[in-house]
Amino acid sequence: MTKRLVQTCHLAQVARGGIFCLLSLLFITSVITSQIRSANASESANAGWATLNVGESYHYTVMYRDEQVGHREIKRQSTNTWIFKANGRPSGFNRLSEVTLGDDGMPVALQINGQKNPVEAWQEHFTFKNSVARWKTSVDAGEQKLSEPAMYIPIHPAYDLGLLALRLIESDNGYLDLLPQGKAHIEALSEKIVKRGKDSRTLRLYAIHGLHVRPMYVWLDQHGMTFADEWAILQGWESDYPQFRAAIDSALNQHMQKLALQAMPAPTAGVLVIRNVSLFDPINGVINDKLSVLVRENRIVSVGPRSTIDIPANAQVIDADGLTMLPGLWDMHAHQDSQRFRNAYVPFHLAAGVTSTRDLGSDPKLLVAVKKQIENRKLIGPRILMAGMVDAKEGRLTGLRVGDETAAEAAVDNLANQGFVQVKIYAELPPNLVSVVIARAKEKGLRISGHIPEYMSGTDVIHAGYDEIQHMSELMDGILLSSEDEVEVSDEIWGKMLSQLTPQSKIVNDYIALMKAENVAVDPTIALFDSTGHTPPSWIIDELHRFPKGNAQRRWLGVSKGNWAGASWPQIRQHAFAILLAMHKAGVTILPGTDHFPGFGLHKELELYVEAGIPEAEVLRLATLGAARTMGLDNEFGSVEPGKYADFILIDGDPLNDIQAIRRVVWVIKDGEVYNPALILAAQGVAPCCTD
């Protein structure tokens, strides 16, 4: 593997909404309960893990996109001690936990050792003694004296959470306090009987609420042991995993549909007027005060002073005095349907004022389904432009994987036939197939972008026909390495090499000039890049206080890429920001995108552009009209003008003087419908923008 690819993995550990790095957190997260509400404490003591005799084990196969990628084992080491092992691709996690249970089945001691990913080790320790709970992790520590039962939830799971479920069943109302904070409750959903030879099992699907912003799901057998959860299935039953995962996805879809009903706008007369608003004009980069905007159905009819707007008697009127109107924001590097959280994070886009997204590599089948859910009003979310990812057959379990020219052409045809508008080439696709994919995509009229694959340089991909390059990390690696380079150096040495790249370097200037000459854009995901060494990542830290207290907040403490570059990192960051500014000044198109947490992450991305030196008005143009123009949709979107779709947002403040005003979203109008961000967030337990 080239150093470029190794470094890409380091720089992108939290890529795809955190999917590659964060996936390891959820591969081994499952939610266990006993199968009957009437189970008493004595019965529960003999359920779940307790059904194992000393020395016995349960084995599970970890799954990813219906492929076998890892292994779990639960082994009873002694009367009160269990060993939990888990490992898996693509994140490369490998973990060993020792768990000791008290007489009540609650953990009284645990020790976790292992790797979150190939470059980061993880340790976590917990004890409960004399009514005092104490914990220490790689990123935090604390203690609490307890008067009521509470269960410690580690940042990186030390067990399959069946213990929590059994304790929830024992509780009077299905609720249990969590440590360090929070509360969980359990919900029974459905039942299924499965048989294989003489092996017959009665399975029940359960949901546990309170661990994250959406429920976690698990199938339990009649003994209270996990049969299948979102990421694994009992060894020997792998061929049945798709049906159990499908049932979980269906349950999540029903949950998200209920949330949508709580926040979906009620039908109106089809006429909307926003009056007394300050309107940002992305063409001229100015804000014009005291204007009114008239919308009929989903189109803008007129924009002008109030005296020029004839307000119909049946109009819905919003007085926006003191508010600023922006065209709806665009996230040009989204992943709506992550393997980790499926569609649960999609509403966060709209809540943050992101009305249009370009999805750069979700599972094609699932992405099409999410798009339809939004269009059918069963899920609150943005408009979606679909891009499909193509990688080598031996790639990172991502996108459509191909091994020859026929398969490569078929993959592009598949995407084009489903309405995808772009192809994204991933890191391990060989050069001969890169050329095949690009040629076929051009035949189909699809845009072409991607990572810089092995055995290719940044110059190579431009000459091959790329329209844009994903990630600042990829761009810097591509500048530094030629296609012939095969280097194996330490992270520290690589960091020193990268730190030498500056806008004053001839190699950098030449590359920027080539990008401009060939009209190649960059999707820098600079907030993702900036998260190196940050715990929590910089793209979520400003909004973390708004999430439900407990695991929904604390889990982000375990998310980071580590400071792989050591002492060189501050200089690398400084030079990366300077290169971003130099590209903008040279006229290279910058496409704001996140590749991580929806909505809030785009706010951070735009704030970092301002930090890099790009003026606020130009940053807002990039995230509105510029994005729409890149996708050939600037006649329909990107500015608030008569004839265009009614996609715009109202924020509290002047973003030309304070870019952080984009975080204070008061109203979101998408397709002529008025959404209240506070309601969208409240449905998922997240506080509105302007309260602590």
Hey, which residues does 327 pair with through a beta bridge? 648
Q: At what angle do helices 431-443 and 405-417 cross, to 10 degrees?
A: 30
The pLDDT value given to residue 488: 61
Flag whether 404 is in a domain: yes
The pLDDT value given to residue 37: 37
292 and 399 within one domain: no
Confidence of residue 691 (pLDDT cuts 50, 70, 90): low
Is the distance from CB of 142 to CB of 128 less than 8 angstroms? no
User: What average pLDDT does range 474-492 have in this prediction?
Assistant: 70
Confidence of residue 29 (pLDDT cuts 50, 70, 90): very low
292 and 199 within one domain: no
Flag whether 563 is in a domain: yes
β-pairing, 120-129 vs 132-137, is antiparallel
92 and 198 within one domain: yes
The pLDDT value given to residue 639: 98
The pLDDT value given to residue 524: 97
Q: Which residues contact 476 (CB under 8 A, 6 or more apart)?
A: 498, 501, 576, 579
Residue reference for tokens 């006649």: 635
DSSP symbols for 38-64: T--HHHHHTSGGGGSPTT-EEEEEEEE
**What's the domain range around 181?**
32-236
User: What average pLDDT does range 226-246 have in this prediction?
Assistant: 92
The pLDDT value given to residue 563: 57
Confidence of residue 468 (pLDDT cuts 50, 70, 90): very high
The pLDDT value given to residue 118: 66
151 and 93 within one domain: yes
Check residues 544 and 153 and name the one with the higher pLDDT: 153
Whether the pLDDT of residue 452 is over 60: the answer is yes
Q: How far apart are CA 652 and CA 691, in angstroms?
A: 13
CATH code at position 484: 3.20.20.140
Helices in 294-421 by DSSP H: which ranges? 347-351, 364-375, 405-417
User: What average pLDDT does range 67-78 have in this prediction?
Assistant: 92
Flag whether 213 is in a domain: yes
Q: How far apart are CA 626 and CA 620, in angstroms?
A: 9
Alpha-carbon distances of 176 from 37, 210, 211, rounded to whole Å: 15, 10, 11
Check residues 122 and 245 and name the one with the higher pLDDT: 245
Q: How far apart are CA 126 and CA 104, in angstroms?
A: 17
Q: What is the pLDDT of residues 651-676, one digit of tens each?
A: 999 999 999 999 999 999 999 999 99
Is the distance from CB of 332 to CB of 468 less than 8 angstroms? no
Flag whether 659 is in a domain: yes
453 and 355 within one domain: yes
b/e map of 364-379 (b: 16 or more CB within 10 Å)?
Answer: bebbbbbbebbeeebb
Q: How far apart are CA 222 and CA 241, in angstroms?
A: 18
Cα angle 279, 280, 283; round to 5: 130
User: What average pLDDT does range 2-11 have in this prediction?
Assistant: 35
Amino acid at 395: G
Helices in 12-136 by DSSP H: which ranges? 15-27, 41-45
User: What average pLDDT does range 379-390 have in this prediction?
Assistant: 95
Flag whether 21 is in a domain: no
Q: What is the 3 state secondary structure string of 563-598? A: CCCHHHHHHHHHHHHHHHHHHHHHCCCECCCCCCCC
User: What average pLDDT does range 172-185 have in this prediction?
Assistant: 89
Q: How far apart are CA 343 and CA 252, in angstroms?
A: 8
Whether the pLDDT of residue 21 is over 50: the answer is no
74 and 216 within one domain: yes
Out of 215, 236, 257, a domain closes at 236
Q: Which residues contact 574 (CB under 8 A, 6 or more apart)?
A: none
The pLDDT value given to residue 166: 80
Q: Which residues contact 601 (CB under 8 A, 6 or more apart)?
A: 331, 527, 539, 540, 594
pTM: 0.88
Whether the pLDDT of residue 580 is over 90: the answer is yes
Residue reference for tokens 């790329």: 466
DSSP symbols for 440-506: HHHHTT-EEEE---TT--HHHHHHHT-SEEE-HHHHHHHHH--TT------HHHHHHHHTT--TTSH
Q: Which residues contact 606 (CB under 8 A, 6 or more apart)?
A: 592, 619, 620, 622, 623, 659, 662
Flag whether 128 is in a domain: yes
Average pLDDT of the residues of the chain: 86
628 and 662 within one domain: no
Closest of 533, 615, 537, 524 to residue 571, by C-alpha: 533
The pLDDT value given to residue 125: 94
Structure tokens at 165: 């479920």
Percent helix / strand / coil, the chain, rounded to 5: 35, 30, 35
Across 12-21, 102-111, 159-168, which has the greatest mean pLDDT? 102-111
Poorest-pLDDT segment among 165-169, 178-182, 451-455: 165-169
User: What average pLDDT does range 146-174 have in this prediction?
Assistant: 83
Flag whether 11 is in a domain: no
The pLDDT value given to residue 22: 35
Whether the pLDDT of residue 23 is over 50: the answer is no
222 and 89 within one domain: yes
Q: What is the pLDDT of residues 420-432, one digit of tens each?
A: 999 999 989 999 9
Out of 236, 254, 286, a domain closes at 236
**Residue 206 — φ and ψ, nearest 5°?**
-125, 155
Whether the pLDDT of residue 227 is over 50: the answer is yes
The pLDDT value given to residue 485: 56
Whether the pLDDT of residue 510 is over 90: the answer is yes
The pLDDT value given to residue 47: 78
307 and 186 within one domain: no
Whether the pLDDT of residue 28 is over 50: the answer is no
Flag whether 15 is in a domain: no
Q: What percent of the chain has pLDDT over 90?
A: 57
The pLDDT value given to residue 327: 99
The pLDDT value given to residue 662: 98
User: What average pLDDT does range 208-225 have in this prediction?
Assistant: 89
Whether the pLDDT of residue 316 is over 60: the answer is yes
Whether the pLDDT of residue 89 is over 60: the answer is yes
Poorest-pLDDT segment among 128-137, 229-238, 297-306, 489-498: 489-498
Q: At what angle do helices 569-586 and 491-498 cross, to 10 degrees?
A: 40
Q: What is the pLDDT of residues 622-632, one digit of tens each?
A: 999 999 999 99
Across 6-10, 182-186, 196-200, 409-413, which has the greatest mean pLDDT? 409-413
284 and 365 within one domain: no
Hey, which residues does 308 pair with through a beta bridge? none
Alpha-carbon distances of 548 from 146, 150, 278, 440, rounded to whole Å: 21, 17, 34, 47
Closest of 433, 469, 512, 454 to residue 360, by C-alpha: 469
Confidence of residue 16 (pLDDT cuts 50, 70, 90): very low
Cα angle 211, 205, 177; round to 5: 30
Whether the pLDDT of residue 556 is over 90: the answer is no
CATH code at position 302: 2.30.40.10
Dihedral angle sign, alpha carbons of residues 363, 211, 36, 127: positive
Out of 618, 635, 652, a domain closes at 635
Check residues 623 and 19 and name the one with the higher pLDDT: 623
Poorest-pLDDT segment among 12-21, 474-483, 666-675: 12-21
The pLDDT value given to residue 2: 34
The pLDDT value given to residue 15: 35
What is the tally of structural domains in the chain? 3
Whether the pLDDT of residue 483 is over 90: the answer is no
- The helix (run of H) or strand (run of E) holding residue 241 is helix 241-263
Q: Which phi-psi region, left, alpha or beta, contains residue 643 (left: φ > 0; alpha: ψ -120 to 50)?
A: left
366 and 311 within one domain: no
The pLDDT value given to residue 46: 64
543 and 407 within one domain: yes
Closest of 469, 463, 464, 459 to residue 433, by C-alpha: 464
DSSP symbols for 394-429: TSSS-SEEESSHHHHHHHHHHHHHTT--EEEE-TT-
Poorest-pLDDT segment among 202-211, 334-343, 493-502, 539-548: 334-343
The pLDDT value given to residue 486: 54
